[in-house]
Amino acid sequence: MHETLITAVLIYLALGIGAGMLSGLLGAGGGLVMVPGLMFLFHLDHTVNPAFMMHVAVGTSLASMIPITVRSLLSHLKRGVVFFAVYQKMLAGLLFGVLAGSVLAHFIHSIVLQVTFGLFVLTMAYALVRKQKDTVVKKLPGKWGSFAAGSLTGALTGLLGIGGSTYSVPFMVNRGVDMRVAVVTAIAFALTSSCIGAIIFMMTGMHVIGLPHWTIGYVLWPAWLGLSVGGIVIAPLGAKISHQISPQKLKIIFAIFLLFVSAHMLWV
Give the mean pLDDT of 38-47: 84
Bigger pLDDT: 257 or 133?
A: 257
pLDDT at 137: 55
pLDDT tier, 135 (very low <50, low <70, confident <90, very high otherwise): very low
Tell me the range of 85-94, 121-130, 160-169 where mean pLDDT is highest: 85-94
Identify the sign of the CA torsion 46, 48, 50, 53: negative
Domain extent listing, the chain: 1-266
Alpha helices in the chain (DSSP H): 2-26, 31-45, 53-77, 84-105, 110-129, 143-160, 165-173, 179-204, 221-242, 247-267
Report pTM: 0.82
Is a pLDDT exceeding 90 seen at residue 204? yes
Bigger pLDDT: 113 or 264?
A: 113
Find all residues with CB under 8 Å of 201, minimum gap 6, and list them.
55, 58, 59, 62, 63, 102, 105, 217, 218, 219
pLDDT tens digits, 10-26: 888 888 888 777 766 76
Give the mean pLDDT of 216-227: 92
pLDDT at 79: 73
* % of residues, the chain, pLDDT over 70: 89
